[in-house]
């Protein structure tokens, strides 16, 4: 499958008339293909974007999918993609593009039209976390660990309705020892188990993070910038378990998991996700 990663957004640059410049960057996953173009903010629209995508594909083929990590880029790229018959995927995981953006940002101060404003090319504004919908919440939840070497065997061949185990997140591909403990969260969903799993799949889980506060909480990072409060707690034992969970994530190269099941019998599962912060 041919995959491009693309970003279209304003930069800390202005043209000769003082207009803010927007930059389009396109690359493939290895940066064997790269394409760049500037446009004054007032001229940015889907027609201009379609013409640029056609130019980017002039020496190759249009991709099967264009991956986009920035919410402000998504609607324009989706519109252009629809006109060209190219799928657009919203995902935080665009490492080649993000690396290129950081390299480009280091060059902007050398431009005569640099504005000098504070600029981080990949940091996105994120809304405060909101509670998980009440009608989805299950019966109980807990922290857990699994040996890295057991994860594929335990879940890959099981008839699990919703299973997300990307190749690049498999423990062996992250270089984890088979005995390394991989932390995770298990939710016993009861009658809501399948409904919760389907909702999570639509939300596109990325990571589950412990956040200290008053009270402490477990925060789901999902979609491009969405954040959800999965649980809050003040119990000292739960806080200690949450701290161990966060420490284990650091030791497992950020790899962790989310398991949704009807109950703790181990007979059936509703959904399983391997997760890692982008």
Give the tens place of pLDDT for each residue, 207-230: 999 999 889 999 999 999 999 999
The answer to whether residue 120 is domain-embedded is no
Q: Which of 82, 110, 138 is the last residue of a domain?
A: 110
Same domain, yes or no, for 94 and 138? no
pLDDT given at position 157: 81
- Per-residue pLDDT tens over the stretch 167-176: 999 999 999 9
Whole-number Å distance between alpha carbons of 161 and 268: 10
The answer to whether residue 122 is domain-embedded is no
Same domain, yes or no, for 135 and 255? yes
Same domain, yes or no, for 101 and 134? no
pLDDT given at position 278: 83
Number of domains, the chain: 2
| Per-residue tokens: 92 | 């935080």
pLDDT given at position 133: 83
CB burial of residue 145 (10 Å; 0-12, 13-18, 19+)? middle
| Residue 74, domain CATH | 3.30.420.10
The answer to whether residue 45 is domain-embedded is yes
The answer to whether residue 119 is domain-embedded is no
pLDDT given at position 54: 96
Number of neighbours of residue 171 by Cβ within 10 angstroms: 22
Same domain, yes or no, for 166 and 196? yes
pLDDT category, 158, cuts 50, 70, 90? Answer: confident
Whole-prediction pTM: 0.89
Same domain, yes or no, for 202 and 251? yes
Q: Which of 54, 81, 110 is the last residue of a domain?
A: 110
Same domain, yes or no, for 157 and 236? yes
Same domain, yes or no, for 140 and 261? yes
The answer to whether residue 39 is domain-embedded is yes
Q: Which of 77, 110, 143 is the last residue of a domain?
A: 110
Q: Residue 55 sits in which domain range?
A: 3-110
pLDDT category, 270, cuts 50, 70, 90? Answer: very high
pLDDT category, 182, cuts 50, 70, 90? Answer: very high
Same domain, yes or no, for 67 and 166? no
User: Is a pLDDT exceeding 80 seen at residue 138?
Assistant: no
User: Is a pLDDT exceeding 80 seen at residue 15?
Assistant: yes
**Average pLDDT of the residues in 25-37:** 97
The answer to whether residue 121 is domain-embedded is no
pLDDT given at position 132: 87
The answer to whether residue 196 is domain-embedded is yes
**Average pLDDT of the residues in 7-34:** 96
pLDDT given at position 244: 97
pLDDT given at position 74: 96
- Per-residue pLDDT tens over the stretch 197-209: 999 999 999 999 9
User: Is a pLDDT exceeding 90 seen at residue 151?
Assistant: yes
Number of neighbours of residue 1 by Cβ within 10 angstroms: 6
Same domain, yes or no, for 134 and 99? no
User: Is a pLDDT exceeding 80 seen at residue 154?
Assistant: yes
User: Is a pLDDT exceeding 80 seen at residue 69?
Assistant: yes
CB burial of residue 92 (10 Å; 0-12, 13-18, 19+)? buried
Between the alpha carbon of residue 221 and those of residues 15, 19, 84, 184, 197, the distances in Å are 37, 35, 31, 14, 15
User: Is a pLDDT exceeding 80 seen at residue 53?
Assistant: yes
**Average pLDDT of the residues in 59-66:** 94
Between the alpha carbon of residue 156 and those of residues 12, 148, 232, 264, the distances in Å are 46, 13, 31, 19
Cβ 77 vs Cβ 26: under 8 Å: no
- Per-residue pLDDT tens over the stretch 84-118: 999 999 999 999 999 999 999 999 999 889 998 98
The answer to whether residue 125 is domain-embedded is no
Same domain, yes or no, for 50 and 162? no
pLDDT given at position 264: 84
pLDDT given at position 150: 94
Same domain, yes or no, for 143 and 103? no
Same domain, yes or no, for 256 and 142? yes
Whole-number Å distance between alpha carbons of 145 and 177: 14
């Amino acid at each position: 499958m041919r995959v491009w990663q693309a970003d279209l957004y304003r930069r800390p640059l202005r043209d000769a008339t003082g207009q803010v410049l927007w930059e389009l960057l396109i690359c493939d996953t290895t940066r064997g293909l790269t394409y760049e173009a500037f446009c004054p903010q007032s001229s940015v629209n889907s027609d201009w974007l379609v013409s640029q995508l056609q130019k980017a594909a002039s020496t190759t083929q249009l991709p099967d999918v264009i991956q986009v990590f920035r919410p402000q880029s998504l609607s324009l790229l989706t519109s252009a993609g629809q006109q060209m018959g190219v799928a657009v995927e919203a995902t935080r995981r665009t490492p080649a593009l993000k690396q290129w953006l950081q390299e480009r940002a280091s060059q902007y101060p050398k431009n005569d039209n640099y504005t000098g404003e504070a600029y981080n090319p990949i940091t996105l504004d994120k809304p405060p976390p909101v509670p998980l919908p009440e009608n989805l919440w299950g019966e109980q939840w807990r922290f857990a660990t699994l040996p890295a070497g057991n994860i594929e065997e335990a879940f890959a061949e099981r008839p699990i309705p919703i299973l997300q185990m990307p190749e690049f997140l498999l423990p062996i591909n992250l270089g984890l020892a088979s005995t390394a403990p991989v932390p995770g969260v298990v939710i016993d969903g009861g009658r809501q188990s399948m409904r919760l799993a389907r909702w999570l799949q639509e939300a596109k889980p990325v990571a589950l993070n412990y956040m200290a506060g008053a009270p402490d909480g477990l925060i789901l990072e999902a979609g491009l910038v969405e954040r959800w409060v999965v649980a809050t707690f003040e119990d000292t034992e739960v806080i200690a378990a949450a701290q161990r969970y966060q420490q284990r994530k650091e030791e497992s190269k950020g790899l962790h998991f989310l398991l949704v099941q009807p109950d703790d019998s181990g007979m059936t599962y509703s959904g399983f996700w391997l997760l890692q912060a982008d």
